[in-house]
Chains A and B, each alone.
Chain A
Amino acid sequence: MSVASPLSGAAAIAGIGATEFSKDSGRSELQLACEAVLAAVADAGLKPSDVDGLVTFTAETNGEIHVARNTGIGELKFFSRIGYGGGAACGTLQQAAMAVATGVAEVVVCYRAFNERSGERYGLGQANRPMDTSADRAAYAWMTPFGLSTPAQWVAMFARRYMHEYGATSEDFGRVAVVDRKHAAVNPAAWFYQRPITLEEHQASRWIAEPLHLLDCCQETDGGQALVVVSAERARDLPHAPAIIRAAAQGSGKDQHMMTSYYRPSISGIPEMGLVGRQLYAQSGLGPDDIDAAILYDHFTPLVLPQLEELGFCATGEAKDFIADGNLELGGRLPCNTHGGQLGEAYLHGMNGVAEAVRLVRGTSVNQPDDVRNVIVTAGTGVPTSGLVLGVDE
């Protein structure tokens, strides 16, 4: 393969750690963050005092200093945050990889922890949030007075248009949920462990925001997830086989809005994900044919379809056929969300998906496909987003 970017192969994910995934953790968000960070550092075979960088989301309530102080990390040379909700997930790993590749830091932990089910639930939407005059808040003025306030509703607007343009149906969306829940059913860490669903159950589930049924919407979760990034060279000396960061990219499209980019010439694609995909392939020298498994952000089923198209796994408008043909199953062309996704395992703003990609590269997923060399991971859709390609050490 021809590698075009100095970032490609410079860093690796050497440790992953998480709390249990629940609906009511019974402890503070900061405790969840500390537990996840310490578990990831231990998994990497390192000590907290080895860590000199922390990266998280702007949405995170647990500041770097609180995590560092409580876990004994001590001094920090690098700390950085990424905005735009779940779109930040892979972006945190990009920050860490860049810091490690440039020598700014040596051991960077990316983390996300919240009581998103027992505390502040994102699914309830923005209707009654406090007002201010910032551009971010004013952007909601075009939606919430009209009753368009929740992530499900925002996604439903894209979904309806996608159905209209490509003839996709609610069942096509449902197949994403069914395969996620099938994978979750054998994952003991998943909230929906041993609870698969059928397409009929998907169709019978109540409307949330037409055309989205309840089972098109991911769950809400209490929990924490952390990942440790070091140089590829250092990773080779640590206990686990490194998950090499072959590529890491962010993308924000033209005329980008938060979940409501309804003003572009077409709204049936995800141009910011296309931008991420093109960078991932250019950085890594890989193409869609080189990707053996995928972790696709699945807060809501409909936006999994255009991701497959934007990333080049099928032609525009043909994701419904790609999915119906069983390509996302184990043994299919592109085993997808082998942990159960956010629909099945947990909603950790995409960070649990990055951890699953690490397990796929290590060969330790509960749903391990044969011969995985490269895994693509995506972050939140409908927002400025990010992506990764993780690969086995060559």
Chain B
Amino acid sequence: MSASYEDRLLAFVGREINPLKPGQDPVNVPMIRHWVEAMEDDNPIHLDEEAARATGRDGVVAPASMAQAWVMRGYAATMAPKDGGGPADELWALLAEGGYTSVVATDSEFEFHRELVPGDHVGMREVVESISPEKSTGLGAGRFVTTLKTYQDQNGEVVATQRWRTLRFKPKEKPAEQLAEKAAEEPAEKAEPKALRPRPAINRDNSFWFEAAREHRLLIQRCASCGTLRHPPGPCCPECGSFEWDTVRASGDGHVYSFVVNHHPRHPAFEFPMIVAVVELAEGTRLITNLVGVTPEEVEIDMPVVLDWVDADPELSLPVFRPVAQEGH
């Protein structure tokens, strides 16, 4: 039974669950005004024509992260939809059937292609990228569902993409009295925070990489003279000797070059067995990383993987990789 459930679930991978649908209103100044007020965004380019022109723009532009706002259908329609029965609802129903009745958004990664201006009319379509095997999380056993939302303008031009991940989980069932008992028994243990991952030693040569990682951007150092990419980064290009460098953002595609399954010693920040891999990026450089959404038995050298992020603690976010969802599973 579990196998067939898995198949039904994975049949959604690659499927469009929300077809392209334009937002209710075109991009307009009144909505921008409400939004920037609420967000306390005082950048003048959103409301002041003159200030916007002074930056080289033709006029005011909408805040980039409003992309999502233009296609929201409003509170009432969200709470009591009239048009149920689409593929998205089928997927949520199937997850609920598996016991995954609760949901929490875990991360959202935007790429903005152009700025939106009043008059643009944005629509969005959403495709399922991957559905993870069941993972045990602090909230309960659950599956990470990753979708790609593509935002297009009235001419069909892509203006932004958003990788959107939610955890659909089985809420832990704990009767209230049992919970109270447990809390009374082991208050210290419950209060104990998990050990932090080992800190990276940060210096002037590597800080840019870890700072970008905190913003979920995987960078590769590039020689500004000869263009050679290098990782781990360093101050000087081994190919041409230049000390000038910039960075490129990794596409996030790669494959497993080698991997280790750690058992001992057991650092308290990690759960064992744990997978550490060397991933070769599509750009050609390699990095040491972790694999997620896959069991040690399933990992193979050359397996295609895609970038994901782990926010280990408030100071440390790290790139990790998960298997590319296979079509037609």
Instruction: Write the residues of chain A forming the contact surface with B, with a CB cutoff of 8 angstroms.
Output: 123-128, 131-135, 137-150, 153, 156-158, 160-161, 164, 206-210, 255, 260, 262-263, 267
Minimum CB–CB distance from A314 to chain B (whole Å) comes to 23
B92 interfacial contact with A, CB 8 Å: no
Minimum CB–CB distance from A262 to chain B (whole Å) comes to 5
Taking a contact as CB atoms under 8 Å apart, the answer to whether A157 and B260 are in contact is yes
Pairs across A and B, CB under 8 Å, 8 listed: A124-B265, A131-B201, A145-B318, A146-B289, A148-B262, A149-B267, A150-B265, A157-B278
Given A146-B290, A158-B258, A263-B231 contact (CB < 8 Å): yes
Taking a contact as CB atoms under 8 Å apart, the answer to whether A144 and B203 are in contact is no
* In-complex Cβ contact of A156 among B206, B260, B285 (8 A): B260
What separation, in Å, do the CA atoms of A150 and B265 have in the docked complex?
8
Taking a contact as CB atoms under 8 Å apart, the answer to whether B199 and A138 are in contact is no
What separation, in Å, do the CA atoms of A394 and B190 have in the docked complex?
73
Given A138-B206, A158-B258, A263-B231, A145-B199 contact (CB < 8 Å): yes
Closest B residue to A141 by beta carbon equals B200
What separation, in Å, do the CA atoms of A126 and B267 have in the docked complex?
11
Given A138-B201, A142-B287, A206-B263 contact (CB < 8 Å): yes
Closest A residue to B213 by beta carbon equals A145
Minimum CB–CB distance from B247 to chain A (whole Å) comes to 16
Closest B residue to A123 by beta carbon equals B265
What separation, in Å, do the CA atoms of A255 and B230 have in the docked complex?
11
What separation, in Å, do the CA atoms of A9 and B210 have in the docked complex?
52
What separation, in Å, do the CA atoms of A262 and B260 have in the docked complex?
13
Minimum CB–CB distance from A207 to chain B (whole Å) comes to 4
Taking a contact as CB atoms under 8 Å apart, the answer to whether B204 and A127 are in contact is no
| Binary per-residue interface labels of chain B (13-54) against chain A in the complex, 1 for a CB within 8 Å, 0 otherwise | 000000000000000000000000000000000000000000
Chain B residue contacts of A267, Cβ below 8 A: 257-258, 278
Taking a contact as CB atoms under 8 Å apart, the answer to whether A147 and B269 are in contact is yes
Taking a contact as CB atoms under 8 Å apart, the answer to whether A160 and B260 are in contact is yes
Taking a contact as CB atoms under 8 Å apart, the answer to whether B258 and A133 are in contact is no
Given A127-B267, A146-B290, A263-B286, A141-B260 contact (CB < 8 Å): no
What separation, in Å, do the CA atoms of A138 and B203 have in the docked complex?
7
The 10 closest A-B CB pairs, nearest first, are A141-B200, A210-B261, A144-B198, A133-B203, A161-B258, A156-B260, A137-B201, A207-B263, A127-B198, A148-B276
Chain B residue contacts of A157, Cβ below 8 A: 258-260, 276, 278
| Binary per-residue interface labels of chain B (291-329) against chain A in the complex, 1 for a CB within 8 Å, 0 otherwise | 000001000010000000000100010100000000000
